[in-house]
Amino acid sequence: LGTSAKMLSIVPLMKGGGLFETGAGGSAPKHVEQLLNENHLRWDSLGEFTAIAASLEHLANSKNLNAALILGKALDVATHHILEYGKSPSPKVREIDNRGSHFYLALFWAKALCEQRDNVAIADLFRPIYKALQSNEIAILEELNEGQGRMVDIGGYFLPEYTKASRIMRPSKRFNKIVDEI
């Protein structure tokens, strides 16, 4: 795999819970340095995506929540598509970074949810979201990438300022509007 960021450990807990852990964070300082110097975040969230999917499936099984199972399985499909279509973050500025990878996760997850046949209400809920993401793909990617290659200020390293960090991490007005309306 080349990095612990792409590995998942699942630890069952004694009272039925679960611990879903990924990566060690050893490369995080270099990633933050590149973000601050070049506004490019190469952090690969693949491990986090698999951890969320596994936790949704655990929730579905432990609480008998079919909707959580559908969300988890669709997230697995979306994660597979990120790998299949090469939408993981690149270390190179002006190529896809963490923000672009998260856009593709949203696009592929919404698509998987509207195409699944187990829950019509979920499919109907995510169909317009998928269509909005799909029809705005090029514009969203341009908005996500246009600030790359320049220094940014997030207002702190360990405790960044919310407004500054949000402006850097959520640079696409179109993507934000779609997500915020869910």
Phi, psi for residue 90 in degrees, rounded to 5: -100, 150
* Selection from 66, 56, 72 nearest residue 118 by Cα: 66
**CA distance from start to end of the chain:** 34
Q: What is the pLDDT of residue 4?
A: 61
Q: What is the pLDDT of residue 28?
A: 86
Q: What is the pLDDT of residue 24?
A: 67
Instruction: Return averaged pLDDT per consecutive 10 residues of the chain, 182 residues in all.
Output: 69 89 81 97 93 96 97 98 97 97 99 98 98 99 97 95 98 98 94
- Delimit the domains of the chain by residue range: 4-180
Q: What is the pLDDT of residue 108?
A: 99
Q: What is the pLDDT of residue 117?
A: 97
Q: What is the pLDDT of residue 12?
A: 87
Q: What is the pLDDT of residue 5?
A: 63
Q: What is the pLDDT of residue 7?
A: 74
Please give the torsion angle defined by the CA atoms of residues 28, 30, 36 and 39, in that order, rounded to the nearest 10 degrees: -90
Contact 39, 168 (CB under 8 A): yes
User: Distances from the Cα of 160 to the Cαs of 76, 120, 148, in angstroms?
Assistant: 31, 41, 19
Give the HSE-up count for residue 158: Cα atoms under 13 Å, Cβ half-sphere: 0
Which position has the token pair 């559908």? 70
* pTM (predicted TM-score): 0.94
For the chain, what is the radius of gyration of the CA atoms?
17
